[in-house]
Chains A and B, each alone.
Chain A
């Protein structure tokens, strides 16, 4: 990989050990993926935040990096944190403090684009949260690979990333043409559709034909695809910004019908009596989704017997507080949790079953051994005990 004089100096330790270590990571990745050079990024988004995932070893790495004087050089936000007992909370706080010491903005969310980390078309990024990567690439038309924790941190410190993968035009074209021959109306149906597509295309780039999703539907669908597969970019005909240039005539064609979607849904059909909490907001809810939840609760007009958690970013929570939605949701036994994620928390120690409208959450909770009911928002709120 070609390095500028400045980059050579950074690699030789001229700017301190933290920059040197970060450069070593970027150069090694650039070499194995045959990148021609490093390119500047507009922002970073770092995974490896929850104590559940990071553990003592990840914390040790962060402590060592802080001690070496690591500082980020571009706007950087974090993935959601975990919640747990007292010891967990203490460790979680230390992790956030370590990132803060490196100059990272402590907004811990999988929807950074609802806050100040909003890229524009064509921006190069180093993001790591799988659903945020999918949204940035597919819905916004920015360009990022699926980074790991240390590689996104290294890119944040240097302000650059190796030029390979989805940073290159030729890798952004479709690998599969997916024709939808089913009525997809409601958000959870988009989530289920994304789940099926992810299973089929794995790490490919699907081009989807025959749906008219709104922006929240796109978010839900992309998150599922990135969980059941490792899809980092998809196109929807007539909807997403790069669809016109995405397709050529040599891609594999796949048909998805009503039966395929029903088959996925049946895998997550726990009975209500097996459910001891409800999770909405995976990925973190938009203000519009919170409004929908508050309105449905008001229509239901009696408190939920099982607790309802809605996970959100800090910025959206502040707006929900201001507009009165938080208060309404709390009145019916709901709670808005900001900057955290239940998928990266030890929920299986507290609960045995969940109802959710998210295909992504359904995928992970099932893998932790929970009973999962996957349903539409309206059905969940109206039918829950």
Chain B
């Protein structure tokens, strides 16, 4: 199945999805040294986003969150790609300065943690290539 949105940034990557059903705050919500979600209100608290494709509705919180995404990427603890329903400034700028492909305008209800997907930031497409085992 192919989901069509709008791509921001460069590149095509494949990987396993982790889905957060709630908006994410990167400043104070993710440990930049490990990639583990620390936001007490998050439904994926304690999970790691390192090397995964992170799907969530939208960012929230401080605009300093963009720098946390940058720190995650610089330290090799960042997500491979980002999928959001609604890109706003924090996540968009974070993805761009970190070189992480981003696709926005995707109904993330169609995605489940553990699925394998291909994210194309050039065409804005997210293709589900495996249902996963979760």
**A residues engaging B (CB < 8 A)?**
21, 24-25, 28-29, 31-32, 47-48, 53-58, 60-61, 128, 147-151
Contact partner of A32 (CB less than 8 A), chosen from B62, B70, B104, is B104
Q: Closest CB-CB distance, B27 to chain A, in whole Å? A: 9
| Residues on the B chain within 8 Å of A128, using CB | 63
Contact A32 B63 (CB under 8 A): no
Contact B67 A61 (CB under 8 A): yes
User: Which residue of A is nearest B66, CB measured?
Assistant: A150
Contact B8 A28 (CB under 8 A): yes
Contact partner of B97 (CB less than 8 A), chosen from A21, A47, A53, A55, is A21
| Residues on the A chain within 8 Å of B97, using CB | 21, 25, 61, 150
Question: Given A47-B63, A149-B63, do A28 and B93 touch, yes or no (CB 8 Å)?
Answer: yes
Contact A55 B9 (CB under 8 A): no
**B residues engaging A (CB < 8 A)?**
6, 8-9, 32, 62-64, 66-68, 70-71, 74, 87-90, 92-93, 95-97, 104
Contact B89 A148 (CB under 8 A): yes
Contact B92 A55 (CB under 8 A): no
- Apart from A32-B8, A61-B70, A148-B93, list 17 A-B contacts with CB within 8 A: A21-B96, A25-B93, A25-B97, A28-B92, A31-B8, A47-B63, A48-B64, A54-B64, A56-B71, A57-B70, A147-B89, A148-B63, A148-B89, A148-B90, A149-B64, A150-B93, A151-B89
The A/B interface has a contact count, at CB < 8 Å, of 66
Most buried by B among A29, A128, A150: A150
Question: Given A28-B96, A150-B97, do A60 and B70 touch, yes or no (CB 8 Å)?
Answer: yes
User: Which residue of B is nearest A59, CB measured?
Assistant: B67
Q: Closest CB-CB distance, A54 to chain B, in whole Å? A: 7
| Residues on the A chain within 8 Å of B74, using CB | 57, 60
| Residues on the A chain within 8 Å of B88, using CB | 32
Q: Can you sample 29 A-B contacts with CB below 8 Å?
A: A21-B97, A25-B96, A28-B9, A28-B92, A29-B92, A29-B93, A31-B6, A32-B6, A32-B92, A48-B64, A53-B62, A54-B67, A55-B67, A56-B71, A57-B68, A57-B71, A57-B74, A58-B64, A58-B67, A60-B71, A61-B97, A148-B66, A148-B89, A148-B90, A148-B93, A149-B63, A149-B64, A150-B67, A151-B93
| Residues on the B chain within 8 Å of A47, using CB | 63
| Residues on the B chain within 8 Å of A61, using CB | 67, 70, 97
| Residues on the A chain within 8 Å of B93, using CB | 25, 28-29, 148, 150-151
Contact partner of A24 (CB less than 8 A), chosen from B32, B70, B96, is B96
Q: Closest CB-CB distance, B41 to chain A, in whole Å? A: 16
CA distance A60 to B97 in the complex (A): 12
User: Which residue of A is nearest B86, CB measured?
Assistant: A32
User: Which residue of B is nearest A151, CB measured?
Assistant: B93
CA distance A25 to B63 in the complex (A): 14
Question: Given A21-B97, A31-B8, do A57 and B67 touch, yes or no (CB 8 Å)?
Answer: yes
User: 8 closest pairs, A vs B, by CB?
Assistant: A148-B63, A57-B71, A58-B67, A57-B67, A32-B87, A28-B96, A150-B93, A28-B8
CA distance A61 to B98 in the complex (A): 9
CA distance A42 to B69 in the complex (A): 30
CA distance A31 to B87 in the complex (A): 10
Q: Closest CB-CB distance, B61 to chain A, in whole Å? A: 11
CA distance A56 to B88 in the complex (A): 23
CA distance A149 to B93 in the complex (A): 10
| Residues on the B chain within 8 Å of A25, using CB | 93, 96-97
| Residues on the B chain within 8 Å of A24, using CB | 9, 96
Q: Closest CB-CB distance, A29 to chain B, in whole Å? A: 6
